[in-house]
Structure 1
Amino acid sequence: MSVASLGLGTYRLRPPAVHEAACRAAEDPGTAWVDTAPNYLGGRAQTLLAPALARHPVPVSTKVGFVAQGAGTAAIVAGVLSAAEVDAGHSLNPPFVRWQCAQNRAELGRPRLNLVFVHNPERAAGDRNEALLRAFTALEQEVEAGTLDAYGVATWDGFDTGIFSVPNLDRLASLAAGTEDHHLRAVQLPVSLVTATAFTQALDRRGPIAQAAERGWDVYASAPLFGGELAELATRELADLIRPDLSVSQACLLAVASCPGVTRVLLSASTPSHWAEGRAALREPPVPVPTLRKVLDVLASD
């Protein structure tokens, strides 16, 4: 059993803090990672990250799906979206997926992307399986062209609601690639002591986290502190169950990083102290599974 690595999430960063936050994330070259998306920070996240990424060769995951603020007109002019699709705000049509990959490369200043998540495919219009199959096919083509290493699926509630399952995503990727040796290699989902369905299942080697781990995929835990609210929702007594010498936030973060199958925890940390606390927490030994069960049982009984 091991503790997941720490990665910088950019969804909740304050724009003035993006550059320095990315530089701090690069301080641990063995595990450094930045996660972003073209629609984060009002469509500015990737261009704000680019100067730091030019200085530090940190691996980056980004996304396709949402129409970023200010990008709709360019997508219409490029012929990859209709006005109706721009109004919908989300599309997994292959021309848009490929165009958005190219836009991501340009904004990040990278000729090749490390990882692209299909972003909240539960938002896709029509048959979601068909939409995912088309998106996966486009991303396999990006890999074939040498502009992408791998792709994944980032969802907020797709697993909890049963819209998606890891076996079905695996099947769709095999269809897209024409072989079981496809390039779908990761999932991203919220994992915290509040959003705990997949967390609880993983302790019993069930659910999306365990199924992804069985396939050797990376599992990215987003919103590990529930948008910062866990520091208020959790108690000192609960934190003491996890690790008495840590702050409440640190204990909650370590619990997520100790979840079997989770490989990376994404923390949106705008300040040096917030990032340092996260790094210190994830240097701790993992929380044993029986303790994690007890913590989740306590929360479930409240």
Structure 2
Amino acid sequence: MRTAALGLGTYRIRPSVLNEAVVRAATSPADAWIDTAPNYLDGRAQSLLAPALARHPIPVSTKVGFLTAQATKDALSDRALTLEDAERGHCLSTPYVHWQCALNRTELGRDRLDLVFAHNPEHSASDPYEALRAAFTALEAEAAVGTLTAYGVATWDGFDTGTLAIPALHQLASEAAGTEHHHLRAIQLPVSLVTATAFTQALGEEGPIAQAAELGWQVYASAPLFGGELPRLVTLELSALLAPHLTTAQACLLAAASCPGVTRILLSASTPAHWAEAQAALRSPAIPTPTLRKVLDVLAAT
């Protein structure tokens, strides 16, 4: 069993070290990846990434959905956004998704986007599936003209709450594309020893991760260390059970990377040491499923 690849997340990273973080991520060109969004770092993430990406043209996933103050103002001016959606701060309408994709390309300095996630559709004012239908329609059209390669759905708790389901997403994308050969190719969700519902299901070959993997989709694990809090929640005994040769943080990261079906772990590592530690952890053999089950059971009981 292989561990997931490592990708640079930009949600929590310090702006002052973003350029150096991109350089570090680019040192493994075979599996380098960066995940960002137009609302990250107070709306500056993509523009801050652009100079480094021009020198290191590695793949990037970005998002559509959440609005920044400037995007709201500009989209309203361009009539790509309704006042109702502007007040809500979230939009997945077809006109807005086209508008945001164009802005993403401009801010990232790219003519073609590698992967665009519909961001937290559970925040939509209407039925999340109706919002996604509109978004998928726009994203399939973007793919058809060559301005994006693939799209996905990023959620925090949409799968845990039952708001979203992989078969329904697959059906929606098929309808938007007019064929089962659509461009919906990825999901992003939290996977860690404490955000463990989908993790536990995957160990039994069930749930959204297993279903996405069966369709050949990529699965991006966000918050693998639960915002840095997880190492404080895992005892030294559990850490040693997971991987006695690693630090607690490394063991927790390797646990998420060992989840069957997860293809990439997203980590906001601001220092060279943290990135090197993460790389070393993911070079270790995957943690066996029985061990993962035991640790998850212990944590669930505490």
TM range (shorter): over 0.9
Matched, 1:136 2:136: yes
| Inter-partner Cα distance in structure 2 for 1:185 and 1:274 | 29
Ranges of 4+ aligned residues in structure 1 off by more than 2 Å: none
Amino acid paired to 1:87: E
Which residue in the other structure is 2:225 paired with? Answer: 225
Q: Quote the Cα distance in structure 2 between the aligned partners of 1:112 and 1:52.
A: 17
Q: CA deviation at 1:186?
A: 0.2
d(CA) in 2 for partners of 1:55, 1:126? 41
State the match for 1:48 in structure 2: 48
Indicate if the aligned counterparts of 1:59 and 1:114 stay in contact, CA closer than 8 A: yes
For 1:165-244, what aligned pairs fall within 5 Å after superposition?
165-244=165-244
1:236 Cα deviation (Å)?
Answer: 1.1
Cα contact 1:76–1:83 (8 A) shared by 2: yes
Q: Report the residue type matching 2:189 in the other structure.
A: L
The within-5 A match list for 1:27-38 is: 27-38=27-38
Paired AA for residue 278 in structure 1: A
Does structure 2 conserve the Cα–Cα contact (< 8 Å) formed by 1:26 and 1:58?
yes
Deviation, 1:83, is: 2.9
Q: Give yes or no for contact 1:119–1:153 (8 Å, CA) kept in 2.
A: yes
Contact conserved, 1:42 with 1:69, CA < 8 A, in 2?
no
Residues in 2 aligned to 1:192 and 1:200: alpha-carbon distance in whole angstroms? 10
Instruction: Give the CA deviation at 1:165.
Output: 0.3
1:77 to 2:77 alignment: yes
SS of corresponding position for 1:16: helix
Identity across matched positions, percent:
68
TM-score, normalised relative to structure 1: 0.99
In structure 2, the residue matched to 1:119 is: 119
What CA deviation, in whole Å up to 9, does each residue of 1:239-259 have, x standing for no partner?
A: 101110100000000000000
Say if 1:39 and 1:69, in contact at 8 Å, map to a contact too: no
RMSD, aligned CA: 0.7
Q: Does the CA-based 8 Å contact 1:231-1:248 persist in structure 2?
A: yes
State the Cα distance separating 1:82 from its structure 2 match.
Answer: 2.4
**In the alignment, is the contact (CA less than 8 A) between 1:151 and 1:185 conserved in 2?**
yes
Deviations 1:121-140 (A, max 9, x none): 00111122111111101000
Q: Give the whole-Å Cα distance in 1 for the aligned partners of 2:28 and 2:267.
A: 14
Deviation at 1:68, TM superposition (A): 2.0
Task: Give me the whole-angstrom Cα distance separating, in 1, the residues matched to 2:120 and 2:126.
Answer: 14
Aligned position for 1:88: 88
Q: Distance in 2 between matches of 1:127 and 1:16?
A: 39
Shift, 1:53, TM fit:
0.3
Aligned length: 302
> Which residue type is aligned with residue 98 of structure 1?
H
Superimposed CA distance per residue, residues 232-291 of structure 1 (whole angstroms, 9 cap, x where no aligned partner): 111111110111010000000000000000000000001111111100000001001111
DSSP-derived class of the 1:189 partner: strand
Provide the secondary structure at the position in 2 that maps to 1:114: strand
Distance 1:85 1:188 in 2: 23
Give the TM-score normalised by structure 2.
0.99
Shift of 1:198: 0.2
Partner of 2:265: 265
How far apart are residue 84 of structure 1 and its match?
2.9
1:274 partnered with 2:274: yes
CA contact 1:5–1:257 (8 Å) conserved in 2: yes
Distance 1:7 1:69 in 2: 28
Give unmatched runs, 5+ long, in structure 2.
Answer: none
Whole-Å separation in 2 of the counterparts to 1:17 and 1:83: 36
Rounded Cα–Cα distance in structure 1 between residues aligned with 2:280 and 2:68? 34
**Unpaired segments of 5 or more residues in structure 1?**
none
Mapped contact 1:137–1:177 kept (Cα < 8 A): yes
Q: Secondary structure at the match of 1:6?
A: strand
* Corresponding residue number in structure 2 for 1:3: 3
Structure 2 match to 1:39: 39
Counterpart of 1:295, as a letter, is: V
